[in-house]
């Protein structure tokens, strides 16, 4: 009967076995009371559990038609006797296939009843339209008298209409398939929104499915007592992705497990980026897969050098700057080096990024006191660790691989003194100041010409007198407009205004953690060809110019605490002033940095709202157990509530925007740590 069903037979099967929903199974107030009596949990808690993988119920098609709705409009799930479910697993024979434009409807028959399973596969790629041949003949040329011109009817016949390809069914009529999907009620009947359809290759799959469902009906579905959510089988996956996750359930003996959080694969190091040739305009194949790169500051046009462009470049450098080497220690005795005997090994890895590992006393001290801090002339002794035998427990190297750190521990702040010593930003700041001064001189000259033409005094003067007065006027205008101010002071003001603008718009925040050492500019090879090409689109000529600039300013970059203020020193080196003590540091606002704070904010807000909704203990003691109010599951906060909480709780996030919180929430959703429950509210995953 199942080998080759005809059209008439298939119609007879559909008319005889198709089930309609009994009015007693539809959701109403009475059924809502019955659903709540079946379990001690609230309707919201049961609905959340039905979104997990462990809530997938293997059953018959007859069970799907006999399920009772929860009776709640907000939480749509069904009761399979004493067990709530939302996603089912069926196994049967396909007795009908209907293909539409965007979906395929399979009619499944397992011997107990039939049901329609709606599957929406991925649409096939659209066919490419044929390229039109480019006409090379000019309109003014004469047509060839020996060639017949094309008629408009022939053009209409040659038009090709590209129709989308029809969807290909997963299986045909007569195939035994396993369907996993969500139960829906449509047109007084039940329907399955299939997430996965798998063809059964073994004839024993149907027998195993029947034996499993009969055992579940006997042991689980018909259990005595109220339903309790199994704590050990609650999945930590995102509930929003639960229907698609059920596609992985191929075998019937599937045991749900708590999946671990997905690890985020870090981007490859910038050193792997292929170099860009200056003569070839073709982009690198690896360019689209790595971090974005901007045009090198030395290649920008004068019209593009302004405050907004400089602000974009500073933010781009703070976002994509290579991390400083952790094993570099800026010791006051040894200087920046890979190994320093005065470095405190008990401190954390991030503390080693500080400028000083210890403080040298300014007052005279005896040799014993100097030996205590590790600066004295004490005779070096062999350490006990070096005398361990081969059978000793192996230890990790002191300056080897460091343990995994959080996103906050990996960050190092940027100070304004550090940014002013970056060769690319320093070059762009000088060019921006000079371009702005040039535009201002042009404007002043234009205004002077217009004022001279509008003047009504036509008295002629000697040429030398006119020239001297003109020079005096230009000098006065230049002094009034700040033309006599040193370029270095203007560059410093440009950096200050840029950092202030970035802070006001919420792109950067104040940072109280470790800062980037100045030694990384000299030893970190941040201005080398590999690191430069990882951030900027530089050519070979630009790289040579940058290396020349770095060599010319190496003395000013290396001397962190020095300041050349003599009159004989060039202004290019005198603008780098002394580094102030306790200088403010900033870090860019990234989703990785905000994710931990947003996750903690969601947890705090949900706990606070649950405490506010819970009644007092004295009131609950006075009431009997039957009349005590049950715990209400409070929904998670919205994006606006999270922004308001962060701004009030910490001055660090006083200027954070909603766009940054949205990016952090999307990152938490991608990693399976939070999910959107609807209406813009977010909750943490279990």
Same domain for 474 and 623, yes or no, is no
Question: Would 615 be classed as within a structural domain?
Answer: yes
pLDDT, residue 532, reads 58
Range of the structural domain that residue 641 is part of = 589-684
Residues 616, 548 within the same domain: no
- The answer to whether residues 498 and 618 belong to one domain is no
Are 517 and 437 contained in the same domain? yes
Identify whether 622 is part of a domain: yes
What is the sign of the dihedral through the CA atoms of 373, 375, 379 and 384?
positive
Q: Say which residues have a Cβ less than 8 Å from residue 4's Cβ, sequence separation at least 6.
A: 174
Segments of 44-137 assigned E as strands = 57-58, 68-69, 78-80, 83-85, 87-99, 104-109, 114-119
Does residue 496 share a domain with residue 644?
A: no
Least-confidence region, from 274-283, 447-456, 554-563, 601-610: 274-283
Q: In terms of domains, do 173 and 308 share one?
A: no
Cα 486 from Cα 254, distance rounded (Å): 75
Question: How confident is the model over 495-521, as pLDDT tens digits?
Answer: 889 989 888 888 888 888 888 887 666
In a domain? residue 443: yes
Q: Are 205 and 176 in contact (CB under 8 A)?
A: yes
Residues 630 and 568 in one domain: no
Q: Helix, strand, or coil here: 647?
A: helix
Q: What is the pLDDT of residues 594-639, one digit of tens each?
A: 888 998 988 888 888 877 766 555 555 555 555 555 555 678 888 8
Q: Is residue 402 part of a domain?
A: no
- Asked if the model's pLDDT at residue 349 lies above 70, the reply is no
Q: What is the pLDDT of residue 91?
A: 94
In a domain, 456, yes or no: no
CATH number, domain with residue 644:
1.10.10
In this structure, the answer to whether residues 543 and 672 fall within a common structural domain is: no
C-alpha angle 285-291-297 in degrees, rounded to nearest 5: 100
Comparison of pLDDT for 252 and 450, the residue scoring more: 450
Which pLDDT band, with edges at 50, 70 and 90, does 316 fall under?
A: confident
* Spatial separation of the C-alpha atoms in residues 396 and 394, rounded to whole Å: 7
Does 94 fall in a domain?
yes
573 and 637 fall within a common domain: no
Q: What gap in Å lies between CA 384 and CA 63, rounded to an integer? A: 73
Q: How far apart are CA 678 and CA 663, in angstroms?
A: 17
Residue 650 has pLDDT above 60, yes or no: yes
Q: Which of 248, 282, 302 is the last residue of a domain?
A: 248
Percent of the chain with pLDDT over 70: 52
Same domain assignment for residues 21 and 47: yes
Of 136 and 65, the structure prediction assigns the larger pLDDT to 65
Quick one: 613 and 529 in the same domain? no
Residue 418 placed within a domain: yes
**Is 332 part of any domain?**
no
Identify the CATH number of the domain in which residue 93 sits. 2.40.50.140
Which pLDDT does position 178 carry in this prediction?
94
Question: pTM of the entire structure?
Answer: 0.42
Of the residues 248, 282, 314, which one is the last residue of a structural domain? 248
pLDDT in tens, 13-26: 444 455 666 655 55
Number of domains in the chain: 3
- Specify the higher pLDDT residue, 312 or 453: 312
Do 194 and 66 share a structural domain?
yes
CA distance 607 to 596: 17
How large is the average pLDDT for residues 633-661? 85
Q: Which of 563, 585, 607 is the last residue of a domain?
A: 585
Q: Distance between the two ends of the chain, CA-based, in angstroms?
A: 48
Predicted pLDDT of residue 440: 87
Q: What average pLDDT does this structure show over 205-210?
A: 92
Q: What is the pLDDT of residues 360-379, one digit of tens each?
A: 444 444 544 444 444 444 44
Token pair for 549: 């600039």
Please give the Cα distance from 585 to 413 (Å, whole number).
5
Alpha-carbon torsion, ordered 664, 670, 673, 674, to 10 deg: 70
């Amino acid at each position: 009967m199942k080998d080759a069903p005809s059209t008439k037979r298939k119609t007879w099967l559909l008319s005889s076995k198709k089930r309609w929903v009994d009015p007693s199974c539809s959701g109403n107030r009475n059924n809502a009371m019955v659903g709540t009596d079946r379990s001690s949990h609230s309707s919201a808690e049961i609905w959340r559990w039905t979104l997990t993988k462990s809530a997938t119920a293997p059953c018959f098609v007859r069970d799907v038609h006999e399920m009772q709705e929860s009776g709640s409009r907000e939480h749509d799930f069904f009761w399979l006797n004493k067990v709530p479910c939302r996603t089912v697993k069926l196994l049967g024979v396909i007795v009908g296939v209907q293909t539409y434009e965007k979906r395929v409807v399979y009619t499944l028959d397992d011997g107990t009843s039939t049901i329609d399973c709606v599957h929406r596969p991925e649409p096939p790629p659209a066919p490419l339209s044929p390229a039109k041949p480019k006409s090379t003949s000019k309109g003014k040329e004469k047509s060839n008298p020996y060639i017949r011109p094309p008629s408009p009817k022939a053009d209409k016949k040659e038009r090709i209409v590209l129709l989308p390809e029809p969807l290909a069914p997963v299986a045909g009529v007569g195939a035994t398939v396993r369907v996993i999907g969500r139960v829906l009620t449509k047109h007084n009947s039940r329907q399955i929104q299939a997430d996965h359809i798998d063809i059964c290759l073994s004839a024993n799959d149907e027998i195993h499915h029947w034996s499993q469902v009969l055992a579940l009906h006997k042991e689980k579905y018909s259990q005595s007592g109220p339903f309790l959510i199994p704590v050990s089988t609650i999945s930590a996956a995102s509930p929003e992705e639960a229907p698609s996750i059920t596609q992985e359930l191929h075998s019937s003996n599937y045991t749900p497990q708590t999946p671990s959080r997905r690890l985020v694969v870090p981007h490859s190091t910038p050193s792997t980026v292929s170099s860009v040739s200056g003569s070839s305009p073709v982009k690198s194949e690896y360019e689209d897969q790595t971090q974005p790169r901007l045009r090198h500051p030395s290649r920008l046009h004068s019209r593009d050098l302004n405050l907004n462009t400089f602000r974009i470049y500073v933010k781009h450098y703070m976002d994509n700057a290579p991390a400083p080497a952790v094993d570099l220690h800026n010791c006051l005795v040894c200087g920046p080096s890979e190994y320093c005997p005065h470095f405190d090994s008990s401190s954390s890895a991030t503390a080693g990024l500080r400028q000083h590992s210890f403080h040298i006393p300014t007052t005279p001290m005896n040799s014993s006191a100097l030996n205590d801090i590790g600066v004295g002339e004490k005779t070096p002794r062999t350490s006990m660790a070096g005398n361990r035998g081969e059978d000793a427990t192996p230890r990790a190297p002191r300056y080897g691989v460091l343990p995994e750190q959080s996103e906050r521990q990996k960050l190092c702040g940027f100070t304004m003194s550090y940014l002013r010593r970056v060769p690319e930003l320093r070059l762009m700041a000088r060019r921006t100041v000079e371009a702005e001064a040039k535009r201002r001189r042009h404007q002043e000259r234009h205004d002077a010409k217009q004022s001279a033409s509008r003047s009504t005094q036509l008295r002629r003067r000697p040429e030398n007198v006119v020239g001297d007065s003109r020079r005096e006027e230009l000098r006065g205008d230049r002094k009034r407009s700040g033309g006599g101010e040193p370029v270095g002071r203007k560059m410093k003001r440009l950096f200050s205004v840029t950092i202030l603008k970035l802070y006001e718009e919420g792109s950067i925040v104040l940072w109280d953690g470790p800062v980037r050492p100045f030694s990384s500019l000299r030893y970190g090879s941040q201005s080398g060809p590999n690191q430069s090409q990882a951030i900027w689109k530089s050519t070979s000529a630009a790289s040579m110019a940058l290396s020349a600039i770095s060599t010319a300013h190496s003395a000013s970059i290396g001397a962190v605490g020095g300041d050349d203020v003599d009159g004989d020193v060039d202004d290019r080196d005198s603008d780098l002033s002394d580094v102030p003590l306790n200088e403010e540091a900033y870090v860019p606002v990234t989703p990785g940095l905000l994710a931990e704070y947003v996750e903690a904010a969601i947890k705090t807000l949900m706990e606070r709202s649950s405490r506010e909704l819970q009644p007092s203990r004295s009131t609950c003691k006075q009431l009997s157990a039957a009349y005590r109010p049950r715990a209400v599951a409070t929904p998670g906060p919205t994006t606006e509530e999270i922004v308001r909480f962060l701004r009030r709780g910490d001055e660090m996030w006083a200027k954070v925007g909603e766009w940054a919180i949205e990016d952090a929430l999307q990152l938490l959703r991608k990693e399976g740590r939070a999910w959107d429950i609807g209406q813009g509210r977010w909750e943490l995953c279990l």
